[in-house]
Structures are given as structure tokens and as C-alpha cells.
């Protein structure tokens, strides 16, 4: 093989024209296939630059992976691999030559791409990723540096070197691969990547492309990783042409910590973004939407196929003799002998295969939210695939949480939820009011304790003192809590009377009495952090609160009714300490998917809010345990 300058004259059968770029691990050349006169790029690995034999084998395996994965893909938005081979200068890939620049160079230079051009790039990238996901391939390293932009401004997705196939076993679970700023929370915490992880990374890329800023900025890798796992995306001024509320809502969903809460596909995410853009004409918007990939399966089905190693649930009507698509090592088809046990009282089997069974989980009353290992599955009645030992957590407002432990062979009836009954104190200003609850007068005057307040039903409360009164309605799950009800004069409501001047639009006051700070979202809008004993103004009406504090593992939602100018107490759980002991070995404890620095040796405790939590330790992804914390508790787990 003759040399020309500082690069070889040929590699394999390909004639080398010039060097396009070179780095520590290899070089890329512009070449030509003499047989068909096609220009192409040749990527060559420098094996002598890789230290150990183990690292060389790993690198070559990834090199081969890129060729194999790319060979399965056929999309105009993905760089095509033509050939893979070995040569005197090292292993090489022959791939499509793209005359253009990587997307990160556009972002760093701040070049003035129009909003339509940016959204057009997003549409192309989304279509390419969805095509890969349809083939069972997760990219795992979606970032601007892996997107080439052609001279006619079309995106090309490249570098599938760390991509994951459904039947691949090269990378062990628990190994973090990817680029920190664009990695998903589950990649950072568990080393696990699914199609939902690519959606998250693509949303980070899109956020940066449209705004010029990263959603989780930081000056060190540790800071960036902590923010991705624990904090919401940074609040910025939305890009010109995008509706503010839409921007926040779309990216709150796409960048959700829980993969199940994100958009089901990249195209679904971009479609919402297009619908939230005001500076696009109808023709432009329809043209861009027309370039998105059609949905071959629904987002729920797609996530089930790509994320869940168990078979997707078949339609209830198709039970006996239906072909079963089985995940894991490829797609296996077979006729399943279905065991059907229909019971008017509740759950029934749809099919059984090996140790997994599909049952219909139902509750009395229905509508309970079902979660498994922290992942939301839907509301009952709900068909699910369960294995022996699986634990299903069921919650419904106004009822005690229930953990259902599935046993092989179970045909569960409707699971009866127990109404939550608590002792509540009715407080008024001024005190000394008589109390009528649901048309029954109670003995005594305020402050008055009601024994066994049934949170599973609605209530009507009226308090009266002389000419003063107040009437309040409570929905299921609502309680008086620490709220003080202000009595007003009945004369003000009579015809002809002169009412006090009250501004119906005056904000109410939300008062937080928890012994810890709380990050508050009010009707989807991030209001920042409220300190202990702090307060926050809120417009009158029913307001949705999303409350969080990852330091004490608080994450809950509630609805409060705000009256003009009146204070409302926001009820939050108290704190308790959890000690975890695992044997024979110990490791760092994970609570609700959030890693801690406390080891499970029984010597240290974790302070957290009272209520239900999922506890695990690092390296034991399938061994989580639910805990209903009502006070200090010591948990022992054996592996």
C-alpha cells in the first residue's frame, strides 16, 4: 500500500482522496469507491492508541456494533453504513459522505437560523429516532455533535457506536454511557436506556437549539448530573414565536424524571411543539407535521415494546390461539393456550406464558392509580402482565394505599380499598361557632374535633355564630386540616344590604407550615421554592399544586380552593427517619429512584416525609420494596 502525503493511498478497495479529520482514536478520510464512482467517508480506528487488550476488544466490539446497527436502519435522516472491514492501517467503516457541519457548530456559533429552520431540523431528527426505535434500537447518545447538517439544511443522525439493540448484551446494565449534559436520569442512576431515554436527550437538544441554553446548566459534571436527576429544567425566557405556557408544559413533560411521564415518541413531542408555536403559518405547520413519521403503533404500545421485556398485552377479545409477540431475544411467535377464568366479581386471566400472567386488576371503587416500582401504569380496571412476586401499589384519593402482592395462579377479585378516616379539627374565626356537618348538628362549638372524618365521600360543612356564618364543600380526599374558616355577616347576603367592598379577583394566600422548604408549581407554572413557614399568593378558584423537595423525597399533587383575600393552609406530611439494613452485603440506598449517600448497613438514617416510598440499594434494580412510613422505621432486606 503506497502512502500519499500523511495518509494512505487506499484502504481496502477504496481510493483515498484526502484527510477530513483526525483525532487520538482514529481518522476520517474522503474516499471513492472505484467500482461505482461513489464518494464516501472512511473512518479508521487507531488500535495502537488504545492502552489495554481489554479496551481494544471493547472498542472493536463497539465499532462492529455501529456497523451492525446501522445496517438495520434505512432512513434518509440516518447516515448510511456501506461496508466494514480490516486493513493495514486498522479496522474501518465505509459510510455515506455528508457535505455539511455538525449541529453543535451551529449552536455554538449562534448563527441565525430561523424558527422554521430549527423546527424543520427537529422534525427530521425526530423521524430518524422514531425509525430507529421502530427497529428496536436505542441510540443512547443523542446530542448536537452526533447530528450532521447537510448543505441543504437536512439533519443526519450518526454514531450508533453505543446504541442498544433489543437482543444485545455488549454493555452491562448499570454502566453509564452517553454525554452528561444530554443523559437521562435513568441513564445516570441505573445505566439503563430505553426509547424514553432518547426522547429525554432529544428534548435537551431541542431546548438548546431553540433557546441557546441547556435546561440543566452547570460548571462541573457532578453539578449537571445532580440537576438532571433532582431538579426541574431551568426557567428561561421562551424563544421568540413559542407560546410561554406551551413551552413550559411541553418541556416539563419531555424532561420528566419518570420515563413513563414523557412523550411516547419523538414525533409526539415535536408535534406538541409545532402546535405551541405561534409564528408558523398554517401551511408551514402542516408541511412540517407531514414530515413526521406516521404512528405505526400508539405511544403506549411503542413504550411497551421497547421498554418492557414482557409481551405487550393482547386485546381482550383475542385470547385463544392468538399469536404472541415476545420481547427479549428477538420476536418469537407461537400459539398460546390461554386459560380464561372470567369472574363477575372482578379480575380474570387473559393468558399465561411461563411465569408471567396477564390479569385484569380492578378495585372497589374503581379508578385507583396503579404503580409498580415507581412507574405509573394507569387507573383501574387495568390489564397487566405480572410475575410471581410482583408488587402493585394502588392509590385513590380518600382511601388508604394498598399493596397487592401477586402470586402465581392468582385470579384476584375486586380489591376493596379501605376508606381513609382521620380525626379533624374544625377551626373558625371567631371561635365558638356551632357546626353542622352533612345536615347533622355536632355537639360543642369550635374549635371542635370530628372523629373519623371519612375522606372517601364529599362533605358539606356549615359553621354559625350569631349573625356570622361560613359554608364550605369538601371533595373526596379533602380535609379541613389546619385551615381557619372566617365567619362573615349573614346580613351582607340579604337583598338590599350593602356588602363590604371585596375584590372578587383579589389573590388568596397559600400558607405552608411544613418544617422543610417546598418547590411549588401552581397550575403548571413553576413558582420557585417556598421556605419553611412561608406563603404564596394565588388567584381565586380551584388551584392545582405540584409540591416537591427531593432532599426529603417529597413529590405530591393536591387541589386547593382559594377564596379572594383569604388564607388557605397547605397540608404537607411530617418527617420521619428510615434506617435500612441489607445483608449479607450493603450498598448506597436509593429512595423513590433518587440515590443517597447513606449506606444500608443500619448505622445511618435518612430523613424523609411520611407516606409511601419505594426503597432499593444500588446494584439491586429488581429488589425494591414499598414502605408506608408513619414514623421512624427500621427496614431489613435480604438479598
Active-site residues: which are they? 141
Q: What is the C-alpha separation between 181 and 235, in angstroms, rounded? A: 17
Contact 158, 185 (CB under 8 A): no
Query: Taking the CB of residue 448, how many other CB atoms lie within 10 A of it?
Result: 20
The residues that bridge with 469 in the sheet, in sequence order, are: 464, 488
Q: Return the SS3 of 182.
A: helix
Q: What is the C-alpha separation between 114 and 349, in angstroms, rounded? A: 55
Contact 63, 91 (CB under 8 A): yes
Residue 10 C-alpha cell reads as: 487506499
Q: What is the C-alpha separation between 24 and 157, in angstroms, rounded? A: 23
The residues that bridge with 609 in the sheet, in sequence order, are: 575
The DSSP string of 55-94 is HHHHHHHHHHHHHHHHHT---TTBPPEEEEE--TT--EEE
Q: Return the SS3 of 108.
A: helix
Q: What is the C-alpha separation between 580 and 467, in angstroms, rounded? A: 57
- Give the rounded distance of the alpha carbon of 37 from its chain centre: 48
Query: Taking the CB of residue 405, how many other CB atoms lie within 10 A of it?
Result: 12
Run of H or E including 579: strand 575-583
The DSSP string of 478-510 is ---TT-EEEPEEGGGGSTT-------TT--EEE
Q: Where are the beta strands (DSSP E) in 430-573?
A: 434-437, 440-445, 448-454, 459-465, 468-474, 484-486, 488-489, 508-512, 518-522, 525-530, 535-538, 541-549, 554-562, 567-570
Run of H or E including 134: helix 115-134
- Give the rounded distance of the alpha carbon of 318 from its chain centre: 31
Angle at 58 between CA 53 and CA 61, to 5 degrees: 125
Query: Taking the CB of residue 250, how many other CB atoms lie within 10 A of it?
Result: 22
| Cα distances (angstroms) measured from residue 494 to each of 230, 467, 490, 504, 575 | 53, 12, 7, 18, 47
DSSP state of 238: P
Contact 589, 600 (CB under 8 A): yes
Helices 244-254 and 195-211: angle between axes, nearest 10 degrees: 150
Run of H or E including 590: strand 588-591
Q: Which residue shows C-alpha cell 384476584? A: 412
Query: Taking the CB of residue 436, how many other CB atoms lie within 10 A of it?
Result: 16
Residue 71 C-alpha cell reads as: 445496517
Contacts 24+ apart (CB under 8 A), 355-358: 355/387, 355/388, 355/408, 356/310, 356/311, 356/385, 356/386, 356/387, 357/385, 357/386, 357/387, 357/408, 357/410, 358/313, 358/314, 358/383, 358/384, 358/385, 358/386
Amino acid at each position: 500500500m503506497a502512502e500519499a502525503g500523511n495518509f494512505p493511498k487506499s484502504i481496502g478497495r477504496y481510493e483515498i482522496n484526502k484527510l477530513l479529520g483526525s483525532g487520538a482514536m482514529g481518522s476520517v478520510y474522503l474516499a471513492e469507491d472505484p467500482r461505482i464512482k461513489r464518494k464516501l467517508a472512511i473512518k479508521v480506528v487507531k488500535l495502537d492508541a488504545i492502552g489495554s487488550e481489554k479496551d481494544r476488544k471493547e472498542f472493536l466490539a463497539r465499532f462492529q456494533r455501529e456497523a451492525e446497527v446501522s445496517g438495520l436502519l434505512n432512513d434518509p435522516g440516518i447516515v448510511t453504513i456501506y461496508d466494514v472491514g480490516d486493513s493495514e492501517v486498522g479496522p474501518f467503516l465505509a459510510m455515506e459522505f455528508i457535505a455539511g457541519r455538525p449541529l453543535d457548530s451551529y449552536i455554538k456559533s449562534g448563527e441565525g437560523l430561523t424558527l422554521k429552520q430549527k423546527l424543520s431540523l427537529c422534525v427530521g431528527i425526530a423521524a430518524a429516532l422514531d425509525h430507529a426505535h421502530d427497529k428496536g434500537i436505542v441510540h443512547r447518545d443523542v446530542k448536537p455533535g452526533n447530528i450532521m447538517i447537510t448543505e441543504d439544511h437536512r439533519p443526519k443522525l450518526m454514531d450508533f457506536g453505543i446504541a442498544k439493540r433489543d437482543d444485545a448484551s455488549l454493555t452491562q446494565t448499570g454502566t453509564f454511557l452517553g454525554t452528561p449534559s444530554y443523559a437521562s436520569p435513568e441513564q445516570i442512576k441505573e445505566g439503563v436506556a430505553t426509547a424514553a431515554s432518547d426522547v429525554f436527550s432529544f428534548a435537551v437538544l431541542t431546548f438548546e437549539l431553540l433557546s441557546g441554553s441547556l435546561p440543566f446548566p452547570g460548571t462541573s459534571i457532578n453539578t449537571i448530573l445532580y440537576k438532571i436527576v433532582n431538579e426541574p429544567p431551568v426557567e428561561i425566557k421562551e424563544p421568540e414565536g413559542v407560546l410561554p405556557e406551551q413551552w413550559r408544559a411541553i418541556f416539563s413533560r419531555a424532561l420528566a424524571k419518570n420515563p413513563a411521564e414523557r412523550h411516547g415518541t419523538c414525533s409526539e413531542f415535536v408535534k406538541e411543539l409545532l402546535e405551541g408555536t405561534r409564528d408558523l403559518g398554517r401551511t408551514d405547520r402542516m408541511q412540517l407535521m407531514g414530515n413526521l413519521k406516521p404512528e405505526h403503533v400508539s405511544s403506549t404500545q411503542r413504550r411497551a415494546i421497547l421498554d418492557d421485556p414482557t409481551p405487550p398485552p393482547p386485546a381482550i377479545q383475542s385470547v385463544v390461539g392468538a399469536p404472541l409477540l415476545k420481547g427479549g431475544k428477538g420476536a418469537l411467535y407461537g400459539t398460546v393456550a390461554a386459560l380464561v377464568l372470567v369472574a363477575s366479581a372482578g379480575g380474570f386471566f387473559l393468558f399465561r406464558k411461563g411465569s408471567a400472567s396477564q390479569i385484569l386488576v380492578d378495585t372497589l371503587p374503581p379508578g385507583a392509580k396503579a404503580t409498580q416500582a415507581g412507574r405509573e401504569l394507569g387507573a383501574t380496571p387495568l390489564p397487566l402482565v405480572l410475575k410471581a412476586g410482583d408488587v402493585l401499589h394502588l392509590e385513590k384519593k380518600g382511601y388508604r394505599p394498598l399493596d397487592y402482592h401477586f402470586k402465581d395462579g392468582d385470579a384476584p377479585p375486586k380489591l376493596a380499598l379501605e376508606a381513609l378516616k382521620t380525626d379533624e379539627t374544625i377551626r373558625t374565626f371567631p371561635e365558638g361557632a356551632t357546626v353542622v356537618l352533612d345536615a347533622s348538628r355536632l355537639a360543642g362549638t369550635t374549635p371542635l374535633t370530628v372523629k373519623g372524618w371519612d375522606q372517601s365521600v364529599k362533605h358539606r360543612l356549615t359553621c354559625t355564630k350569631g349573625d356570622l356564618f361560613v359554608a364550605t364543600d369538601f371533595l373526596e380526599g379533602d380535609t379541613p386540616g389546619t385551615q381557619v374558616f372566617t365567619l362573615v355577616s349573614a346580613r351582607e347576603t340579604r337583598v338590599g344590604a350593602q356588602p363590604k367592598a371585596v375584590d372578587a379577583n383579589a389573590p388568596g394566600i397559600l400558607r405552608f407550615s411544613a418544617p422543610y422548604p417546598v418547590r411549588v408549581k401552581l397550575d403548571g407554572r413553576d413558582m420557585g421554592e417556598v421556605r419553611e413557614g412561608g406563603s404564596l399568593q394565588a388567584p381565586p378558584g380551584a388551584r392545582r399544586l405540584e409540591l416537591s423537595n427531593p432532599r426529603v423525597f417529597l413529590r405530591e399533587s393536591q387541589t386547593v380552593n382559594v377564596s379572594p383575600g383569604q388564607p388557605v393552609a397547605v397540608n404537607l406530611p411530617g418527617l420521619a427517619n428510615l434506617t435500612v439494613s441489607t445483608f449479607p452485603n450493603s450498598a448506597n440506598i436509593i429512595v423513590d429512584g433518587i440515590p443517597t449517600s447513606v449506606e444500608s448497613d443500619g448505622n445511618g438514617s435518612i430523613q424523609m416525609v411520611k407516606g409511601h416510598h419505594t426503597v432499593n440499594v444500588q446494584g439491586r434494580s429488581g429488589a425494591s420494596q414499598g414502605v408506608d412510613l408513619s414514623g421512624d422505621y427500621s427496614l431489613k432486606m435480604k438479598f
